[in-house]
Amino acid sequence: MKKCILVITILLFLLPLICTAQEIKLPVFSLRYDSGLGSEEIEPEEDEEEELDPSSQRHKVTLRIKEEWSDELTTNLYTAVFRKEYFHQSGSYSYFYLNPDIAWEITDRIKWYTGFRSKFIFYDELDSNGNPKDYTSLLAKTYITFKPVDKLKIIPSFQGVFDLHQNQEQTQTTNIFGLSIAYTIKDNVQVGRRYRGSLRSSLGEHSPDALQQ
């Protein structure tokens, strides 16, 4: 696994060098902040109006860095910090993630996209058995858009997710395979078919594997 991550990292740095030499544009930085307040209804007493009681609050800061290395190659880096706090119940948690991705137009008929995400989730409390609920979610996804003819697109895809819990019995991996075929009959009219299958495997000792289609 570590060797695979190392190879992918090296490839990310080498891609700009093997693309067509063009003037590199300055990176674009986008910073966004979101917040929200959740509430629940309070049962009114007789002759009183309904009231809303604040029950939770959330905050999220997202940073996106987009860089166009050439007309064919674009990279993005998303990172976010999130916090949700419940006022009257347990379950408050925070998370942080990094999500780099690449879009590369290899030829006029072949486009490749791949992305990775590392998400770290932290809970304020333990579960009912006194075990930590914190976990790390690692995701990798990729797909290729192939146009054998102008109006036909074939898009095979793959996504793998590793949910690594501190409570090892809940640790699992999910692999999703997909195939999309689309044909454009005329402007704004398109027909197609999608196929999707997933394989979920529990890496813990006491949970059975599951196969879904």
Q: Is residue 61 part of a domain?
A: yes
With respect to residue 118, please indicate whether it lies within any of the assigned structural domains: yes
In a domain, 188, yes or no: yes
Q: Which CATH number is 84's domain given? A: 2.40.170.20
* Confidence (pTM): 0.70
How is residue 24 written in tokens? 């590199």
Domain that holds residue 142: 28-42+50-212
The sign of the CA dihedral 72, 140, 199, 190 is: negative
Element (H, E) at 200: strand 189-202
pLDDT band, residue 38 (cuts 50/70/90): confident
pLDDT band for position 132 (cuts 50, 70, 90): confident
**pLDDT of 96-131, one tens digit each?**
999 999 999 999 999 999 999 999 999 988 877 777
pLDDT-derived band at 3 (thresholds 50, 70, 90) equals low
Q: Is residue 9 part of a domain?
A: no
Dihedral sign for Cα 124, 125, 131, 135, please: negative
Residue 118 φ/ψ, nearest 5 degrees = -120, 115
Question: Is 19 among the domain residues?
Answer: no
CA-CA distances (angstroms) from residue 208 to 160, 175, 186, 198, 205? 19, 16, 48, 15, 8
Report how many domains make up the chain. Answer: 1
Q: Across residues 172-178, what is the average pLDDT?
A: 93
Q: Is residue 105 part of a domain?
A: yes
Farthest-apart Cα atoms in the chain, separation: 75
Report if residue 121 sits inside a domain. yes
Q: Is residue 13 part of a domain?
A: no
